[in-house]
Amino acid sequence: MDYWLIGDQRLADQLFLIAHDNHTGKPLVGPHNLDAALAGAVLVELALDGRIKFVDGRIHVIDHRLWREEVTDEVLTEMVRRGDGHTIQAWLAHLGPRVRELVGRRLANAGLVARRESRGLTMRVSVRWPGIDPDVVARPRVRLGAVLSQHDQLDVKTAALAALVHAGGMTRVLNLFDRSVTDRVGVARRLLPKVLVDLLDAVDRAVAAATLTVRR
C-alpha cells in the first residue's frame, strides 16, 4: 500500500506540501493565508485523533498523553499549559506565527524536505523547504487534484484537506479551473461533522482578518 496515495500522511503535512513549490520550497500562497490554514489543519489533526474537542467554539484537551510526534506533543503541551476553554480563533492566532516551522520541521525530520535559510538585502531571514525528492513531495497535490476531478464521495480527512486548501486560497495551486471543483469542495465541506465546519469557519475568519490587515 502506498503511504502517499491512501491518505495516511498527516493532514497538516499534506497541506504544507501542497502550499509549497516542490522544487524551490517557496510558499505558493500568501503567508497569512498559509499560516491560518495550516494552524487549522493542526487543530483538525488533533480533533480527528481524539486529542481535543470543541465545545461552543472553545477547545478542551481530552487526551494529553505524549505520542513522541513533535507537532502533536508540542501543541498539546502548550494547550495543557494554557488551560482549557480558549476559543478556536485564539488558538489559530497563537499557532499561526510558528506553525510553518513546526510542520516543516516534522517533514524535515521525516526526510521529505530540507530547511534552507537565507537573508535578503534587508537582512530579513527567509526560510524555504525544498523537497528531497520533488516528485514525491508533489504527490499530495497531485492526489487531491485527481480526487477533486472525479465525482466519488470524499472521506472526512480528504474533505477537510480540500476545505482547508480552499479556505487558504490555494485552489489555484492544484491547477484545476473547473467551476465544478469549487462546488465539490463546498459540498464536501457541508458533509463534514459540525465541529469541523465550525473550525473551518474560524479559519475563514482568520484568513479574512489577516487579508484585511495586510491591505490596510
Question: Domain residues of the chain, as ranges?
Answer: 11-215
With a cut of 60, say whether residue 5 has pLDDT above it. no
CATH of span 11-215 = 1.10.3630.10
Q: What is the pLDDT of residue 176?
A: 67
Q: What is the pLDDT of residues 43-77, one digit of tens each?
A: 999 999 999 999 999 999 999 999 889 999 999 99
Q: What is the pLDDT of residue 207?
A: 86
Q: What is the pLDDT of residue 178?
A: 61
Q: What is the pLDDT of residue 102?
A: 96
Q: What is the pLDDT of residue 3?
A: 33
In 3D space, the residue among 177, 166, 206, 207 whose CA is nearest the CA of residue 15 turns out to be 166
What are the grid coordinates assigned to 134, written together?
Answer: 520533488
What are the grid coordinates assigned to 112, written together?
Answer: 521529505
Mean pLDDT of 7-13: 84
11-45: b (≥16 Cβ within 10 Å) or e: bbbbbbbbbbbbeebebbbbebbbbbbbbbbbbbb
Q: What is the pLDDT of residue 117?
A: 92
Q: What is the pLDDT of residues 14-45, one digit of tens each?
A: 999 999 999 999 999 999 999 999 999 999 99
Q: What is the pLDDT of residue 2?
A: 35
Contacts of 120 (CB under 8 A, 6+ apart): 126
Q: What is the pLDDT of residue 161?
A: 93
For the residues of 25-76, what is the DSSP string, one character each? --BSS-HHHHHHHHHHHHHHHHHHTTSEEEETTEEEES-----S-HHHHHHH
Torsion of CA 183, 11, 39, 67, to 10 degrees: 160
Q: What is the pLDDT of residue 213?
A: 57
**Of 58-62, 81-85, 206-210, the least confident:** 206-210
Q: What is the pLDDT of residue 124?
A: 78
Which residues sit opposite 87 in a β-bridge? 58
Q: What is the pLDDT of residue 138?
A: 94
The overall average pLDDT reported for the chain is 87
Mean pLDDT of 178-196: 79
pTM: 0.90
